[in-house]
């Protein structure tokens, strides 16, 4: 790293005040955002909107002097929010303000879905009506994979020729033009996805099923001269596929290969597969990316410390109405499952996460988190190592765990809980100076954590450091295999693993 870059990093450490935590917390975006923190929204999300309406009605009739102005304020708030939803978000950065540019609008061949505010991801579960093997967890992993592949394809380092079957002709053309242009990149790497939100969904009934996903991403662009620039980006990606298309089998869900026959990617030329002799593009067999729109792109990495206010901690938990019946269904399938053991494992993983984070040892969390979450932990921990500081969370402890949602499909059970925790959060340099936060003043926060486990799996959740398959003391490789029995334990086949951490203001069900 150059001296200048190091100086900037140190400056960031010193200038900013407080607040990071394992996984990045709210500091991922490097500053506070004006995204609404209340849940509600569309779909079957919050169970608390009804209470609010009742309260307002009661106020209007019993205390009109208070009630009517309150109703007006609420209406203005929601209308304003709905109008803002379509526009580029406003960003305020805690460090040096950067320009927010709108770049590379690639129009979709088919119109993007109309609903632009965040939709609960559980809405996608409706696809199981036309595709019984559909799994939200696997879908998100696949989308993540596609997104990273497209980013790499923007540079000469990508495999654009082989992924055309997953792109609309228009998008493939645009990417090719960019990769061949005068300002072409040498590589795009260090792609870390901080958040993925569902911003559009056609439902399962239309002939072409379309989905829009919004990403918050950090990546590094490497130019031809070897220069590097890290960006913080908000992108929206539109995908579609024929209603009759079926999900990939689980074994192929985390690889890109022929959408029809599964032949390795090298067999694809354009949208033609040399192996099965089919035109496999256009969403006939698999998801096809119609557009990738960059909403914001800022030249900066995440702040290691930032004056980021905790928002949403006092909001009611967004509980899906199906959460309780679905958790009972898991209990029916697996008599060894119970809430106490499950939350015991959640607490065990919480502890391991704190240790890995403050100790800057990613390996300690490896057995308990999915591959994608692990990659983002490694990324954060590397940043702290480079900046020669670490984020501490003394006396970190869970105060409460609420059930928020349960999704079950043929591959995974996914349980989302809201974890309320407290601890003294501060960042300290390697030579012992407290750079931000407070060693004595505790802070309370809440986050939504999603755990996954193979839906065929039965048995009690482990709360010790042993391999969930063979019981040997945990010694897990960096790719997630037990060193004794070689089983891959981090995909949730054997026991609950943490696959996602979302902030209150990002979570929408």
The secondary structure of 465-481, three-state, reads CECCCCCCECCECCCCE
Is residue 261 a contact residue for Zn ion (CB under 5 A)?
yes
Torsion angle (degrees, nearest 10) of CA 55, 58, 64, 68: 40
What's the number of CA atoms in the CB half-sphere (13 Å) around residue 43? 27
Query: Would you call 421 exposed, middle or buried from its count of C-beta atoms within 10 A (0-12, 13-18, 19+)?
Result: buried
Per CB under 5 A, contacts with Zn ion among 462-481 are 467, 469-470, 472
Is residue 11 a contact residue for Zn ion (CB under 5 A)?
no
The minimum distance between CB 464 and Zn ion, in angstroms, equals: 13
Element (H, E) at 402: strand 389-408
Is residue 484 a contact residue for Zn ion (CB under 5 A)?
yes
CA atoms of 327 and 27, how far apart (whole Å): 32
The minimum distance between CB 184 and Zn ion, in angstroms, equals: 30
The minimum distance between CB 493 and Zn ion, in angstroms, equals: 12
Contact 393, 428 (CB under 8 A): no
Is residue 485 a contact residue for Zn ion (CB under 5 A)?
yes
Q: Which range touches Zn ion (CB under 5 A), out of 80-88, 151-159, 168-176, 261-269?
A: 261-269
| Other CB atoms within 10 Å distance of the CB of residue 50 | 9
Q: Which range touches Zn ion (CB under 5 A), out of 34-42, 122-130, 223-231, 252-260?
A: 252-260
Element (H, E) at 325: helix 323-333
The minimum distance between CB 369 and Zn ion, in angstroms, equals: 17
Is residue 260 a contact residue for Zn ion (CB under 5 A)?
yes
Q: Which is nearer to Zn ion, 275 or 420 (CB)?
A: 275
Is residue 163 a contact residue for Zn ion (CB under 5 A)?
no
Render the burial of 354-383: b for 16+ CB within 10 Å, e for the rest: bebbbebebebbbbbbbbbbbbbbbbbbeb
Of the candidate residues 138, 192, 273, 381, the single one contacting Zn ion (CB under 5 A): 273
Is residue 252 a contact residue for Zn ion (CB under 5 A)?
no
Is residue 482 a contact residue for Zn ion (CB under 5 A)?
yes
Q: Which range touches Zn ion (CB under 5 A), out of 154-162, 333-341, 483-491, 495-503?
A: 483-491
Which tokens hold the place of 117?
């505010």
CA atoms of 376 and 499, how far apart (whole Å): 11
Task: Write each residue from 415 to 454 as x if it is in contact with Zn ion (CB under 5 A), else as -, in one continuous string.
Answer: ----------------------------------------
> Is 9 strand, coil or helix?
helix
Per CB under 5 A, contacts with Zn ion among 303-332 are none
Q: Which is nearer to Zn ion, 290 or 367 (CB)?
A: 367
The minimum distance between CB 285 and Zn ion, in angstroms, equals: 9
Residues 6+ apart with CB under 8 A from 58: 67
CA atoms of 340 and 365, how far apart (whole Å): 22
Binding site for Zn ion (CB under 5 A): 258, 260-261, 263, 273, 275-276, 467, 469-470, 472, 482, 484-485
């Amino acid at each position: 790293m150059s001296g200048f870059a190091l100086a900037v990093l140190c400056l960031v450490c010193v200038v900013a005040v407080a607040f990071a935590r394992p996984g990045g917390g709210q500091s991922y975006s490097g500053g506070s955002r004006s995204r609404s923190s209340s849940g509600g929204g569309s779909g079957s999300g919050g169970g608390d909107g009804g209470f609010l309406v009742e309260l307002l009605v009661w106020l209007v009739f019993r205390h009109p002097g208070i009630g009517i102005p309150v109703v007006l304020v609420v209406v203005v708030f929601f209308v304003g929010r709905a109008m803002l939803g379509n526009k580029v978000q406003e960003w305020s950065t805690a460090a040096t303000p950067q320009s927010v540019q709108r770049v590379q609008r690639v129009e979709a061949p088919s119109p993007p879905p109309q609903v632009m505010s965040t939709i609960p991801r559980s809405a996608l579960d409706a696809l199981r009506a036309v595709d019984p093997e559909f799994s939200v967890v696997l879908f998100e992993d696949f989308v993540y994979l596609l997104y990273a592949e497209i980013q790499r394809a923007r540079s000469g380092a990508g495999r654009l020729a082989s992924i055309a079957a997953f792109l609309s002709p228009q998008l493939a053309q645009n990417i090719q033009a960019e990769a061949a242009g005068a300002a072409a990149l040498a590589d795009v790497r260090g792609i870390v996805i901080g958040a993925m939100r569902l911003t559009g969904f056609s439902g399962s009934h239309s002939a072409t099923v379309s989905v829009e996903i919004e990403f918050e991403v950090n990546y590094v662009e490497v130019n031809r001269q070897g220069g590097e620039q890290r960006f913080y980006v908000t992108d929206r990606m539109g995908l579609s596929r024929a209603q009759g298309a079926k999900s990939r089998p689980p074994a192929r869900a985390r690889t890109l290969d022929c959408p029809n026959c599964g032949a390795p990617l090298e067999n694809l030329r354009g949208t033609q597969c040399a192996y099965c002799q089919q035109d496999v593009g256009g969403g006939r067999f698999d998801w096809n990316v119609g557009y990738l729109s960059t909403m914001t792109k800022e030249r900066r990495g995440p702040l290691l410390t930032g004056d980021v206010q905790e928002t949403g901690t006092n909001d009611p938990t967004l509980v899906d109405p199906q959460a309780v019946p679905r958790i009972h269904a898991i209990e029916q399938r697996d008599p060894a499952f119970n809430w106490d053991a499950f939350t015991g494992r959640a607490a065990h993983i919480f502890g391991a996460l704190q240790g890995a984070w403050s100790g800057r040892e990613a390996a300690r969390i490896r057995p308990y988190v999915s591959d994608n979450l692990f990659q983002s932990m490694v990324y954060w921990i590397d940043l702290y190592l480079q900046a020669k500081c670490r984020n501490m969370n003394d006396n970190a402890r869970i105060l409460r765990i609420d059930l928020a949602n349960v999704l079950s499909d043929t591959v995974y059970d996914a349980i989302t809980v809201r974890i309320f925790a407290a601890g003294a959060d501060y960042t300290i340099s390697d030579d012992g100076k407290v750079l931000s936060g407070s060693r004595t003043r505790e802070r309370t926060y809440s986050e939504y954590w999603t755990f996954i486990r193979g839906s065929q799996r039965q048995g009690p959740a482990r709360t010790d450091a042993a391999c969930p398959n063979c019981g040997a003391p945990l010694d897990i490789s960096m790719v997630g295999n037990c060193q004794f029995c070689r089983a891959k334990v981090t995909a949730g086949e054997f026991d609950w693993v943490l696959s996602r951490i979302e902030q209150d203001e990002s979570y929408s069900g």
